[in-house]
Chain A
Amino acid sequence: MEERIFDSYAIGGAVAATFYMEPFATLDIDVFVHFAEPPESGLLSLSQIYEFSRTKGWKTEGEYIVIGEWPVQFLPPSSPLEEEAIDYARSHEVDGIPVRLMTAEHLMAMALKLGRAKDYARLIQFVESGAAESKELASILERHGLLEKWEEFSNRFLDERGDDPNS
């Protein structure tokens, strides 16, 4: 019987964002994982992934596991928002293979929370693309205490556009 290392996963970051919008230049793939057994520490559970990758002959580069040509980073969720983003991820077929991708709304909330320049740039593109459902986004922002941060972001970058997650 095959041993399961994690219960569920979801691809996040630029690769997932590309599903909803135009492709973004990115160097790696972020995979968020829920471990099958609650790990004693995040590091311990990640070591299981590295061990598994060795059996598959995948190389490691620092914290990345190189699958095909892509460096893949496996990340245990570090906040309730990331936990929820894994749970709410939707399965999509890519060349006949099912792949779980985070929703546009969760990707936006995570970008807002991170708040780096590139996250805001991606958020603006998300808003322009109309990929997200406003009510769903507003509800995620409210659940995770991000409404105020959205307000600041909106005032700074979207004011002239009049975008409102509640509208």
Chain B
Amino acid sequence: MSEEMTRILESKRKVRAKLAELPFSKKIELLEKLRRRTIDIKKASALEQATE
């Protein structure tokens, strides 16, 4: 693995570790946002397929 890739992965790991330390109630809020975003992406890709 290149040094650059190792650095990127390490920085991602740090962000994830920070998120993991949040209180669970805060994480639930993030889960809700992630869920809405996932639904929006699914809707958008379904629309894209339908119009192709």
- The chain A residues found within 8 Å of chain B, CB to CB, are 14-15, 18-27, 69-70, 92, 94-95, 125, 128-129, 131
The CA-CA distance from A21 to B20 in the complex, in Å, is: 4
A-B contact pairs, 24 of them (CB 8 A): A14-B31, A15-B31, A18-B27, A18-B31, A19-B24, A20-B20, A21-B16, A22-B20, A22-B27, A23-B27, A23-B30, A24-B31, A25-B35, A25-B38, A26-B31, A26-B34, A26-B35, A27-B38, A27-B39, A69-B35, A70-B35, A92-B24, A94-B28, A95-B25
Q: In the assembly, what is the distance between CA of A20 and CA of B24, in Å?
A: 9
Does B13 have its Cβ within 8 Å of any Cβ on chain A? yes
Residues of B within 8 A of A (CB): 13, 16-17, 19-20, 24-25, 27-28, 30-32, 34-35, 37-39
Q: Are A69 and B24 in contact (CB under 8 A)?
A: no
Give complex CA distance A131, B16 in Å: 13
Contact B24 A94 (CB under 8 A): yes
Chain A residue nearest to B30 (CB atoms) is A23
Which residues of the partner chain B approach A131 to less than 8 Å between Cβ atoms? 20
Whether B13 and A23, one on each chain, are in contact in the complex, defined by CB atoms closer than 8 angstroms, is: no
Measured CB to CB, the nearest residue on chain A to B34 is A25
Say whether B25 contacts A27, CB under 8 Å. no
A95 vs B28: C-alpha distance when bound (angstroms): 11
Residue ID in chain B nearest A28 by CB atoms: B35
| A95 to B29 Cα, complex, angstroms | 12
A-chain residues with CB within 8 Å of residue B17 when the two chains form the complex: 22, 129
Task: Name the A residues within 8 Å of B20 (CB-CB).
Answer: 20-22, 129, 131
Give the docked Cα–Cα distance between A14 and B38 (Å). Answer: 14
A23 x B25 contact (CB < 8 A): no
Q: Please give me the residue from chain B that is nearest to A131 by CB atom.
A: B20
Query: Contact: B34 with A94, CB < 8 Å?
Result: no
> Which of A21, A23, A26, A27: most chain B CB closer than 10 A?
A23
Cross-chain contact of A22 among B16, B25, B32, B35 (Cβ < 8 A): B16
A26-B34, A125-B16 given; 19 more Cβ-contact pairs under 8 Å: A14-B31, A15-B28, A15-B31, A18-B27, A18-B31, A19-B27, A20-B20, A21-B16, A22-B16, A22-B20, A23-B30, A23-B31, A26-B31, A26-B35, A27-B35, A27-B38, A69-B35, A92-B24, A129-B17
